[in-house]
Amino acid sequence: MTDERIDLAAVLGKTALLSTLSQPELQTLAARTVRKLFSAGELLFSEGEPCNGLHIIARGKVRIFKTSISGREQVLAVNAPGESIAELPVFDGGPFPASAVATEETEIAYISRRDFQAYCMDHPEVALKVLQVVGARLRRLVGIIEELSFTTIRQRLISTLLKLAQSEGKKTARGIEFQLPASHQELANQLGTVRELISRNLMRLQAEGLLDVDARQIVVKDVKGLSTLLDTTP
Amino acid sequence: MTDERIDLAAVLGKTALLSTLSQPELQTLAARTVRKLFSAGELLFSEGEPCNGLHIIARGKVRIFKTSISGREQVLAVNAPGESIAELPVFDGGPFPASAVATEETEIAYISRRDFQAYCMDHPEVALKVLQVVGARLRRLVGIIEELSFTTIRQRLISTLLKLAQSEGKKTARGIEFQLPASHQELANQLGTVRELISRNLMRLQAEGLLDVDARQIVVKDVKGLSTLLDTTP
DNA sequence: GATGCGCAGTGACCAAAGTCCCAGGCTGCT
DNA sequence: AGCAGCCTGGGACTTTGGTCACTGCGCATC
């Protein structure tokens, strides 16, 4: 038990929301925290459910998404350890605006709404921190709106390919090489479209000589060429 | 001058953000508030500019929007008196994520970032209120994303027509009658598309016998028919 | 009355997005 | 080996979205 508390306090201290707190404060908060374990693919919560507490990711990865009647998915965010999710329903009392699923084995630290709200009243700097985090989230959503309404799928795909190339690509003789981090289907969900279009657009870029594609293995041959495609008006 | 202060305090008291405050508190806040006047069509701020304070609408109407390189517009929100805008950049220190324009003669109460942040530290309940307001905003954005990624323009149009019919339609012998509140162009901006499609889709609905259209004058003849069109998968 | 100007309607046309469907490859399981 | 379940590739086709160009109307202004 003691081990758990110490561990939890460490986890809490690493989250952006609570980084300003002192050790003893983290301890008291940790005492009110519940651990929850989710296996890969398990739902944390679904859109529309009431929200009773704050989730903080201690380990694993969580995808936040909306689902349409026809079964299509639009990813809103993918969160990693140290990040909190669904801060807002905690404060406005409304239901979850989207669903959340663990994409791998995931451990959550859970603090009840009442406790966290009370904590914010006593520690206004935490409330301000929450506002900062929420600000980043809002900016991301505005970015998604911008992409959905101003760019083509082709451009969105190119943009994520370039990001991936930059973050995890390795320079080789043939170009910048990397692996797609997920199936075409999941990529499609993130870009708000369907599998076929991902496949087709990748092939098209290959035909144009900008990429080499072998299933998930990508070789970017012409970064500049790709970049210029981003600026052309749809 | 005295008049102004009293007036400002009244305005502040009516905003959702500050509704919990007492009269004297409103007075002290009002003393730190600056009035700003904007005429119709004038920009309050542009996307990317740094944000130095909180804007509260005292009178008029403000449209928040993004612009694409090709000149297209996507409306994120239209705010009315009593609402605050751009709360978030105030707290996270980042630039404005979108632009704002006054759609009619508009009066703004402006409080500097420093003052408002300090005020939140002293009055945590205000910070919590801000979180509530921001929560509503975030839900709206998620709603826009959902619409953009799951529905056709036709459906979005129908949905706003039904909302308008409900909020300001009058029942007549021919059906529910109302006026479009703006030009086709502005409507298109709100739905994230172009003028022609609004025009065409309205005509199409008329051809299908669901509406009667005469420029901006709309008569909804078949509410049920329209509603069912919303549920069909795109 | 002539001249602009903004707004709405429309036809032709093109590109992007999406649907349906099937083939082939790989993996893991029995 | 055989089968089931995935993921990817790709063909054929439809719908939707968007562009361009032009017409016509109403209104204000000169």
Domain A152-231 has CATH 3.40.50.150: no
The nt closest to A214 (CA vs C1′) is D8
Using CB atoms, pick whichever of B68, B88, B141 lies closest to residue A135: B88
The residue type found at B99 is: S
Using CB atoms, pick whichever of A121, A135, A145 lies closest to residue B124: A121
In contact, B63 and B78? CB cutoff 8 Å: yes
Residue A3: pLDDT over 50? no
Per-residue pLDDT reduced to its tens digit, B81-132? 999 998 889 998 899 999 999 998 899 999 999 999 998 888 888 988 999 9
Q: How far apart are CA B26 and CA B11, in angstroms?
A: 9
Contacts of A121 in chain B (CB under 8 A): 124-125, 128
Q: How far apart are CA A189 and CA A191, in angstroms?
A: 5
Q: How far apart are CA A105 and CA A96, in angstroms?
A: 22
Count A/B contacts: CB-CB distance under 8 Å.
142
**pLDDT of res. B175:** 92
Q: For residue B193, give how far its alpha carbon lies from the nearest alpha carbon of chain A (Å).
A: 8
Smallest Cα–Cα separation from A61: which of A34, A47, A41?
A41
**pLDDT of res. A2:** 40
**B232/D14 CA-to-C1' distance in Å:** 17
**pLDDT of res. B6:** 53
**Residue in B68, B90, B91, B125 to test binding to A, most A beta-carbons within 10 Å:** B91
Name the residue with the least CA to C1' distance from nucleotide C17.
A197
**pLDDT of res. B1:** 41
Which residue ranges make up each domain of chain B?
A: 2-149, 151-231
Residues 183-222 of chain A with CB under 7 A from strand D are: 183-185, 195-196, 199-200, 202-203, 213-216
pTM metric for this prediction: 0.94
In contact, A102 and A62? CB cutoff 8 Å: yes
Give the pLDDT band of residue A164 (cuts 50, 70, 90).
Answer: very high
Smallest Cα–Cα separation from A193: which of A99, A65, A74?
A74
Q: Report, in angstroms and rounded to the nearest whole number, the Rg of chain B calculated over CA atoms.
A: 20
In percent, the amount of chain A with pLDDT more than 70 equals 97
Mean pLDDT of A113-134: 90
* Residue A95 touches chain B, beta carbons under 8 Å: no
**pLDDT of res. B166:** 94
Q: Is A234 helix (H, G, I), strand (E, B) or coil?
A: coil
Give the pLDDT band of residue B176 (cuts 50, 70, 90).
Answer: very high
In chain B, % helix, strand, coil (3-state, to 5) comes to 50, 25, 25
Q: Is A226 helix (H, G, I), strand (E, B) or coil?
A: helix
Q: CB A124 to CB B121 under 8 A?
A: yes
**Residue in B92, B120, B144, B159 to test binding to A, most A beta-carbons within 10 Å:** B92
E-strand spans in A80-174?
84-85, 99-102, 106-112, 170-171
In contact, B134 and A134? CB cutoff 8 Å: yes
**pLDDT of res. B10:** 87
* Residue A142 touches chain B, beta carbons under 8 Å: yes
Q: CB B138 to CB A137 under 8 A?
A: yes
Q: Say which CATH class A2-149 falls into.
A: mainly beta
* Residue B225 touches chain A, beta carbons under 8 Å: no
Residue A66: pLDDT over 90? yes
Mean pLDDT of B209-228: 92
Mean pLDDT of A10-37: 88
In percent, the amount of chain B with pLDDT more than 90 equals 69
The residue type found at A184 is: H
CB within 8 Å of A111: residues ≥ 6 apart: A29, A32, A33, A34, A53, A54, A56
Per-residue pLDDT reduced to its tens digit, A189-220? 999 999 999 999 999 999 999 999 998 999 99
Contacts of A124 in chain B (CB under 8 A): 120-122, 124, 127
Q: How far apart are CA A140 and CA A156, in angstroms?
A: 15
Q: For residue A108, give how far its alpha carbon lies from the nearest alpha carbon of chain B (Å).
A: 22
Q: Hey, which of A1-5, A115-119, A151-155 has the most confident mean pLDDT?
A: A151-155
Q: How far apart are CA A22 and CA A27, in angstroms?
A: 9
In contact, B69 and A230? CB cutoff 8 Å: no
Q: For residue A21, what are its two tokens?
A: 């707190």
User: Hey, what CATH topology would domain B151-231 get?
Assistant: Arc Repressor Mutant, subunit A (1.10.10)
Q: How far apart are CA A121 and CA A115, in angstroms?
A: 10
Cβ count near A190 (within 10 Å): 21
**pLDDT of res. A1:** 41
CB within 8 Å of A198: residues ≥ 6 apart: A157, A184, A187, A188, A191
- Give ∠ CA A14-A17-A23 in degrees, rounded to 5: 55
Q: How far apart are CA A59 and CA B23, in angstroms?
A: 48
For residue A93, the chain B residue with the least C-alpha distance is B132
